[in-house]
């Protein structure tokens, strides 16, 4: 019932259906549905988010303990777009751009002239790469929230369950390769560092000519630059996976209060358990 209510009437705090009579005065294409490129307007999300977000903290030097990185995709060029509060002020426009998912019939958002955005999950629903690149010199523990579980216990039993499972796979975390690649780079850099230390002792102990020493210093400078950009180590990856006692194709549009409270409680319990297990 929650799904059908949302599909027909929207949700006044998140999105509204485009065919509502009140839009006939503000929507120039209201009477031309053959030209529609979206069915739901999610601008009500802006007003709801303002109750919880202090945008002044989400900007360079806004708050040293808060950094938000959100992603979108350019509709015209399928290029990834990254909005980082350490580099620019995050606004409500960015929020709409990174939640405008076309399969749910939300509109694209123009974040700046000629740049039209859809939800970044079209490229990756787990932007781990952006996190790694955002803090390349800091070792890190990574916590991934899996809204779409990777593993299930039994095969789908009907077509709706088939569609549900296909959606879960499409949106599931696919960062294993990124983690493996990051660990491999860390290993290679440590190996190179050992070689450099050995060569450095060699140059300190031997009477080498000036040209060799200068070349060695140039190579060491180049290595230091690479190491600073790629030398951080991933100390651990921890998955916080949403429970799914009753799989449903329509769960993404279930905004009932009971469902949202249950999701929050589930996330808090699992996060607390993981933090307890790793003693953070």
Residue 271 — pLDDT band, cuts 50, 70, 90? very high
- Mapping DSSP onto H, E and C, the string for 91-149 reads CHHHHHHCCCCHHHCCCCEEEECCEEEEEHHHCCCCCHHHHHHHCCCCCEEEEEEECCC
> Measured in whole angstroms, how far is the alpha carbon of residue 231 from the centre of its chain?
22
pLDDT at position 117: 97
pLDDT at position 230: 60
What percent of the chain is predicted at pLDDT more than 70?
81
**Contacts of residue 3, Cβ cutoff 8 Å, sequence gap at least 6:** 248, 250, 251, 253, 254
> Measured in whole angstroms, how far is the alpha carbon of residue 105 from the centre of its chain?
20
How far is Cα 275 from Cα 1, in angstroms, rounded to an integer?
A: 36
The mean per-residue pLDDT over the stretch 158-168 comes to: 88
- Number of other residues whose CB lies within 10 A of the CB of residue 202: 11
Q: Is residue 59 within 8 Å of residue 90, measured between CB atoms?
A: yes
Q: Give me Rg for the CA atoms of the chain.
A: 24
pLDDT at position 250: 80
Q: Is residue 85 within 8 Å of residue 70, measured between CB atoms?
A: no
pLDDT tens per residue, range 41-90: 999 999 999 999 999 999 998 887 888 999 999 999 999 999 999 999 99
The lowest-confidence range among 144-148, 207-211, 275-279 is 207-211
pLDDT at position 146: 86
Q: Is residue 213 within 8 Å of residue 247, measured between CB atoms?
A: no
Stated pTM of the model: 0.75
| Mean pLDDT rounded to a whole number for the chain | 84
pLDDT tens per residue, range 168-199: 888 877 776 666 666 666 666 666 777 767 76
Distances (CA, A) of 140 to 132, 167, 225, 257: 9, 30, 20, 35
Q: Can you name the residues that pair with 236 across neighbouring β-strands? A: 141
How far is Cα 21 from Cα 245, in angstroms, rounded to an integer?
A: 38
pLDDT at position 177: 62
Position 206 pLDDT exceeds 60: no
């Amino acid at each position: 019932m929650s799904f059908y209510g949302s599909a027909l009437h929207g949700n006044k705090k998140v999105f509204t259906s485009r065919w509502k009579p009140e839009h006939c005065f503000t929507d120039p294409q209201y009477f031309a549905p053959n030209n529609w490129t979206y069915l739901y307007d999610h601008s009500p999300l802006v007003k709801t988010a303002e109750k919880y977000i202090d945008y002044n903290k989400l900007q360079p030097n806004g708050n040293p303990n808060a950094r938000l990185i959100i992603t979108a995709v350019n509709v015209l060029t399928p290029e990834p777009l990254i909005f980082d509060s350490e580099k620019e002020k995050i606004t409500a426009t960015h929020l709409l751009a990174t939640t405008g998912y076309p399969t749910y019939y939300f509109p694209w958002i123009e974040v700046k002239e000629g740049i039209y955005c859809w939800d970044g999950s079209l490229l990756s629903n787990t932007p781990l790469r952006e996190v790694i690149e955002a803090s390349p010199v800091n070792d890190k523990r990574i916590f991934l929230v899996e809204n779409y579980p990777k593993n299930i216990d039994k095969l789908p039993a009907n077509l709706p369950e088939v569609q549900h499972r296909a959606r879960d796979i499409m949106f599931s975390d696919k960062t294993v390769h990124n983690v493996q690649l990051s660990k491999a780079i860390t290993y290679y850099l440590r190996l190179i560092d050992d070689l450099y230390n050995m060569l450095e002792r060699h140059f300190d102990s031997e009477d080498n000519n000036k040209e060799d020493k200068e070349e060695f210093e140039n190579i060491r400078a180049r290595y230091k630059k690479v190491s600073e950009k790629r030398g951080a180590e991933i100390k651990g990856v921890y998955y916080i996976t949403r429970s799914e006692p009753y799989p449903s194709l329509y769960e993404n549009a279930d905004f009932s209060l009971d469902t949202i409270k249950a999701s929050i409680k589930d996330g808090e319990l699992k996060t607390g358990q993981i933090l307890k297990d790793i003693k953070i």
